Structure 1
Amino acid sequence: MLSIEKITQLAKENSTPLYIFDKDELADRISSIKRIVGDGVTICYAMKANPFLLDAAKKLNVKFEVCSPGEFSICERENINMSDIVLSGVNKEKHDIEHVMDDCGGVGMYTVESVSQFELLNECAAKRNITIPVLLRVTSGNQFGLDEAEVERLVSHRENYPNIDIHGIQCYTGTQKKKIDHITKELEWLDGICDMLKEKYGFNARELEYGPGLPVSYFGEDAFNNSYDMLKEFAEYLKPLKSKYKITLEMGRYIAATCGVYVSSVADTKTNKGQNYCIIDGGINHVNYYGQTMAMKVPAYTFVKADGTAAAGYGAKDYGTEPEKWTICGSLCTVADVIVKNLPIGKPESGDMIIFYNIGAYSVTEGIYLFLSRKMPKIIAYSEKEGTSLYRDFKFSDKINSREDLI
């Protein structure tokens, strides 16, 4: 994790609001995950968590889950190896599939979300006289994937689709799972489906792709102790399955969260009806913590004075002891723009900064950037070896929120 001094330095050099993505942390994170799960398991990065990390992740021997034409275009610009792409998404359109097959030579794997999608992929492959590798996504009871009966039907009639090579099944059921039992029961369920398909139809599933949804801690002291304990438990349950399948683990949040911080500066302070308010130059359009409830939970943070002193939060000597508390609000003209209530930061002044940690997943893409036409944060990446890289300068959303003929 980047030091407070380094984060502060980068923020002063680049201005705020600012995202900083730590490429060294990303490399360490992926390396640790690979070491724990061991041989026979491939890590697949769900790029929706943070597409800006592709630049660093493409050097780390992982696959990439791509869920939209826009994400695929990013992969093209980043020169991602097509064989490393798992092409997912509930709405695959014909012209996009044709572009993938004709202009890019296809991808490493296609997932199937519906019967009509299966037929579309087959049609496109047959027209080009090619055979494509496919995983059938099994639904967990929502709009994603195929019902088990449909999976069984497609497998039982697989000889009718010579241009589709069904490698196995894929399943993702959600994020932030706190109990290992939840995950192991899902593995048993998926393994049971594969066993049934083999027994009834002689179908030997070669690959099992699964998104475990391992949790990331965002609030309180636990946010600085994102250990791998649950992953180690999970790895033990994977061991007997390695002899049956090629296993791919799809992860987004678990890989990306700890790789980013967000820095925002104090713009104004006021006390209204006895409540202290600290206005920062960012807001809820830039910060998104899964599980935050009405700004009541305290995310991992450091409050840094203008002179660089860590005055409250992580790294401060008097952590949590400041008596004066402030509600941290952003620059949006809505009462909803409250990031955290009653934060003990003492006496904030213009020019002070707040660092928010574990911001590497989703915040950079899920924020309501266009609301009120505020500028979008600058994004940089840092590694000790390569130094600072500019990924995106400040963008002004007023140009998106107005008629093109006026720009």
Structure 2
Amino acid sequence: MELKDNAYCIQGVQLQQIAEEFGTPVYVYDADKIVSQINTLKDAFADLPLKIKYAVKSLTNLSILKLMRQNGTEVDTVSIQEVKLAMMAGFTPEEILFTPNSVSFSEIQEAVELGVVINIDNISILEQFGHTYGNSKSCCIRLNPHIMAGGNHKISTGHIDSKFGISYYQMRHILRVVKTYNMDISGLHMHTGSDILDAEVFLQGANILFEAAMEFPDLQFIDFGSGFKVAYKESDNTTDIKKLGKRLGAAFRAFCKKYGRDLEIWFEPGKYLVSESGYFLVSANTIKTTPATVFVGVNSGMNHLLRPMMYDAYHEIFNVSNPGGTKRLYSVVGYICETDTFGWDRPMNEVREGDVLAIKNAGAYGISMASNYNSRFRPAEVLVYKGKAHLIRKREEMEDLTRNQVQIEM
């Protein structure tokens, strides 16, 4: 995004014009930013057999999935519905990793029938998989390395109290199950959480996977998950992808030499690829002054962007309509009948009723976590692609709220 001729623009398209054409609230994504993030990751691991498995749960729109496929990524999915969306977008079963948690075995069987790569994070499910398929179907095993990493505790997934993965302390049990059913283990996987800054965290987890991998002679890949930190503020530190590529790449090459052959290296970025591409545009309904605070009440809320209330996530907010206005201090709140705050005490160019505000870093876990709470419609989505704004999801209407309701005779 750039400020050009006193207007905020994406690829030359003004955000104000997008708001006027498509209405607010609306999610807007910059395709060029997504492609840039993909290429940064590719460049960092250019000398390794890399596969980027986009974490679909972060943003599932079919047009985004097609953009990912067009630019050489594959996908990581966590539900059978995401598997089917990925296939609708043109991904082949071999390009789809299925990493569910706490699902029924019947859902895993459905994924097996579709031919996707299965990732298992529970010994009980591993036993059922082995009993059902033996070595006729391969699978990956997700290990919990017991590493505390990431920001908010709700997005840390590799610590000892996490529900995700099989503890690496249970390796002997895993090996007994694999031997009993003569299972074909094609990969090992870990994911420690989001907002990881230090390459040392990946290296610490990598050493655990490398040690475990020596027990499995037929591996095809090792999957390091993701968790790369993106910037939410100008002063934020971010994951140094180039440094990570250099250090983890060297460790991976050394491991492959010890293992006896080259394996593929996989990552599953979600937030890293789409977060910074997204802007959530809302309109200021009211300016309300209290003895302590000046509130800007907007035409959206935690029903559309849950992260600030769910994770205490910080999202920068700026005034699209008045970029040259005097800076004032505002708290931006939503229209949901709950405490519903996007940001406290934010310095912004003066906000007037009717102004369009933009909430940054809205590409990941925005629309994908949206709901109809308070019976509000979910917003539209727009993709700026090759210098043009394209509608990629229509705003919901009243019939969308009632479509699946069944009224009984009263």
Q: Same fold (TM over 0.5)?
A: yes
- Which TM-score tier does this pair reach, normalised by the shorter chain? 0.7 to 0.9
> How many residues matched?
375
Q: Which residue of 2 aligns with 1:54?
A: 65
Following the alignment from structure 1 to structure 2, what is the Cα–Cα distance between the partners of residues 346 and 144?
A: 44
Alignment of 1:265-344 (within 5 A): 265-289=283-307, 299-305=315-321, 309-311=322-324, 322=327, 324-334=328-338, 336-344=339-347
Q: Aligned residue for 1:209?
A: 223
Given that 2:285 and 2:354 are in contact with CA atoms closer than 8 Å, whether structure 1 keeps it comes out as yes
1:373/1:398 contact within 8 Å kept? no
Q: Determine the structure 2 residue equivalent to 1:356.
A: 359
- Cα deviation, residue 62, structure 1: 1.6
**Does 2:232 match 1:218?**
yes
Is the alpha carbon distance of 1:402 and 1:289 closer, same or farther for their aligned partners in structure 2, counting shifts above 3 Å? same
CA distance in 2, matches of 1:358, 1:394: 23
Post-superposition offset of 1:289:
4.6
Aligned to 1:317: none
1:134 aligned partner, one-letter code: C
Structure 1's 49 and 166: CA in aligned 2 closer, same or farther, altered over 3 A? same
1:218 shift after superposition = 0.9
Q: Tell me the distance in 2 between the aligned counterparts of 1:118 and 1:73.
A: 23
Are the aligned partners of 1:46 and 1:64 in contact in 2 as well (CA < 8 Å)? yes
The one of 32, 36, 42 aligned to 1:34: 42
Give me the identity figure in percent.
Answer: 19
Q: Alignment partner for residue 372 of structure 2, among 363, 370, 373?
A: 370
Counterpart amino acid of residue 60 in structure 1? N
> Aligned pair in 2 of structure 1 residues 237, 67: CA closer, same or farther (>3 Å)?
same
* Distance across 2 between alignment mates of 1:101 and 1:189: 28
Match of 1:187 among 206, 214, 227: 206
Deviations 1:312-337 (A, max 9, x none): 6xxxxxxxx62x32211111122x21
Q: Is the 8 A contact 2:294 2:331 kept in 1?
A: yes
Query: What are the ranges of 5 or more consecutive residues in structure 1 without an aligned counterpart?
Result: 313-320
**TM-score in terms of structure 1 length:** 0.82
- Aligned pair in 2 of structure 1 residues 184, 396: CA closer, same or farther (>3 Å)? farther
SS in 2 for 1:89: coil
Give the match's secondary structure for 1:266: strand
Q: 1:222 to 1:234 in 2, by over 3 A?
A: same
Instruction: Give the direction of change, closer, same or farther, for the CA distance of 1:395–1:25 in structure 2 (3 Å limit).
Output: farther
Instruction: Output aligned runs, 1:162-201, within 5 Å.
Output: 162=182, 164-195=183-214, 197=215
Contact 2:53 2:74 in 1 (8 A): yes
Of residues 196, 221, 238, the one that matches 2:248 is 238
Determine the C-alpha separation between the residues in 2 that align with 1:45 and 1:15. 29
Measured against aligned partners, the alpha-carbon deviations of 1:95-141 in whole angstroms (never above 9, x if no partner) come to 33343344x3x11x211111221133234435xxx722211111232
- In structure 2, the CA distance between the partners of 1:390 and 1:351, relative to structure 1 (3 Å rule), is same
User: For residues 345 and 403 of structure 2, what CA distance do their matches in structure 1 show?
Assistant: 34
Q: Residues of 2 paired with 1:57 and 1:235: CA distance?
A: 21
Equivalent position SS for 2:208: helix
Whole-angstrom distance in 2 between the partners of 1:23 and 1:98 = 35
Contact 1:209 1:249 in 2 (8 A): yes
Letter of the structure 2 residue corresponding to residue 328 of structure 1? V
2:140 pairs with 1:135: yes
Query: Quick one: which of 98, 113, 125 aligns to 2:121?
Result: 113
> TM-score under structure 2 normalisation?
0.82
CA contact (8 A) 1:375 1:397 kept: no
> Judging changes above 3 Å, is the alpha-carbon distance between structure 1 residues 78 and 284 closer, same or farther for their aligned structure 2 residues?
same
| Structure 2, unpaired ranges of 5+ | 147-159, 257-262
Q: Does 1:91 align with 2:111?
A: no
Partners of 1:343 and 1:311 in 2: how far apart?
16
- Partner amino acid for 2:174? L
Question: Residue 288 of structure 1: CA displacement?
Answer: 4.3
Task: Describe the SS at the equivalent of 2:70.
Answer: coil
In the alignment, the residues of structure 2 paired with residue 353 and residue 386 of structure 1 have an alpha-carbon distance, to the nearest angstrom, of 20
Pick from 151, 156, 167 the counterpart of residue 147 of structure 1.
167
Q: Contact 2:78–2:98 (CA<8 Å) still a contact in 1?
A: yes
User: What secondary structure is seen at the aligned counterpart in 1 of 2:71?
Assistant: coil
Return the alpha-carbon distance in structure 1 between the equivalents of residues 139 and 224 of structure 2.
14
Q: CA deviation at 1:25?
A: 1.8
1:22 to partner: Cα distance: 1.9
The Cα of 1:194 is off from its aligned counterpart by 2.4
Contact preservation (8 Å) 1:16, 1:281: yes
Partner SS for 1:393: coil
Give distance in 2, aligned partners of 1:86 and 1:22: 26
What's the CA shift for 1:393?
2.3
C-alpha RMSD of matched pairs (Å): 2.9
- Partner Cα separation in structure 2 for residue 40 and residue 291 of structure 1: 40
1:257 positional shift: 0.7
Quote the offset at 1:242 in angstroms.
Answer: 3.4
